[in-house]
Structure 1
């Protein structure tokens, strides 16, 4: 796995092979990550990455959040409750020399609680497939005030997710066995 664009382009990330089924690690492939960022950057909805505060839920290796940093995001909060995942994220943050602009939280993404800081402009959601965890995580993020007005949500799943109100779906694409859905929080 490598960062595919931006100022960290080509940076090799910690290798997890085909993932770790026991830890629910299934890294987003470079090809799908590149497609996601092409959708974000070149879409008709405006590029949400530069200057964004990013929340990477079920962060796994941290590749999506680090890709966003590479492309101009200002801060990334990684959320994962897996021991192996957090070790991979720490390693990748060190490789990217991004310690000062990242947070790593050991937390269940489906039970975030109340956000005590500023809300996030760009949310990545890549839960273990087929378990309904994405829906629970989005509900938690919405009720806890984690999602800023106008925020973009990028949701990767094996099936089309149920997008809860007030979020509105703006795009959806299939890449192999992954479906990437873009949704937006209404602006106030």
Structure 2
């Protein structure tokens, strides 16, 4: 997402696109409390995991914040990316950054992610990849994963990237029929790439 570290005094906050068509492009981040961009080193690892799935993919970035994840996916070949962000200033900056990049494949929706997931996807089409990097410590991840399945946002081969606090109890994953394909610890964050357990998915 991110919900972020504060920039040094006198320097505006920015994010950097790491790879793809917009590699090394710097984009401004609004002064919104709690924005926490995924660290570059962790993001590079995550997108090494995701790269084989990105060309032509439909990507949903919930809790988009700075857009660091969703814009990186678009830079690396995703066909369509929807950025969902409830804060008005953050959403406006996301839209401005898309215009700066000429990112016609990226849409910005100002909305609450959990409210949006209470219904089916807007076009009735499932997403190949969903990025879930919410504010830490607010319990968003379990209900988001449940809603993604219940409301048809995923297909059988979809993947979900989750970033959550390093000390989080992960028992809810097995209970929900999820398996961890990839995992990395980075500072206070734990990154997980999730797939549906094939046995549970067929049940």
TM-score bucket of the superposed structures, by smaller chain: 0.7 to 0.9
Matched, 1:28 2:38: yes
Matches within 5 A, 1:135-150: 135-150=142-157
1:171 aligned residue = 182
Separation in 2 of the partners of 1:40 and 1:116? 24
Is the CA contact (8 Å cut-off) linking 2:161 and 2:193 kept in structure 1?
A: yes
1:115 aligned residue = 121
Matches within 5 A, 1:1-188: 1-16=15-30, 20-21=32-33, 24-41=34-51, 47-98=52-103, 100-111=104-115, 112=117, 113-117=119-123, 118-159=125-166, 160=168, 161=170, 162-163=172-173, 165-185=176-196, 186=198
1:20, CA displacement in angstroms? Answer: 3.4
> What TM-score comes out, normalization by structure 1 length?
0.86
1:89, CA displacement in angstroms? Answer: 1.0
> Over residues 27-57 of structure 1, what are the superposed CA-to-partner deviations in whole Å (9 max), with x where a residue is unaligned?
112222112112323xxxxx21111100000
> Over residues 59-96 of structure 1, what are the superposed CA-to-partner deviations in whole Å (9 max), with x where a residue is unaligned?
00112111011111100011111112202211221122
Q: Please state whether the residue corresponding to 1:156 is helix, strand or coil.
A: strand
Structure 1, gaps ≥5 residues long: 42-46
Is the CA contact (8 Å cut-off) linking 1:14 and 1:91 kept in structure 2?
A: no
RMSD value over aligned CA atoms? 1.9
Structure 2, gaps ≥5 residues long: 1-14
Separation in 1 of the partners of 2:193 and 2:179? 9
Kindly tell me: are residues 20 and 32 of structure 1, through their superposed partners in 2, closer, same or farther at Cα, counting changes over 3 Å?
Answer: farther
Q: Please state whether the residue corresponding to 2:26 is helix, strand or coil.
A: coil
> Over residues 136-168 of structure 1, what are the superposed CA-to-partner deviations in whole Å (9 max), with x where a residue is unaligned?
222222211111221111101113443253332
Based on CA coordinates, which of the two structures has the bigger radius of gyration? 2
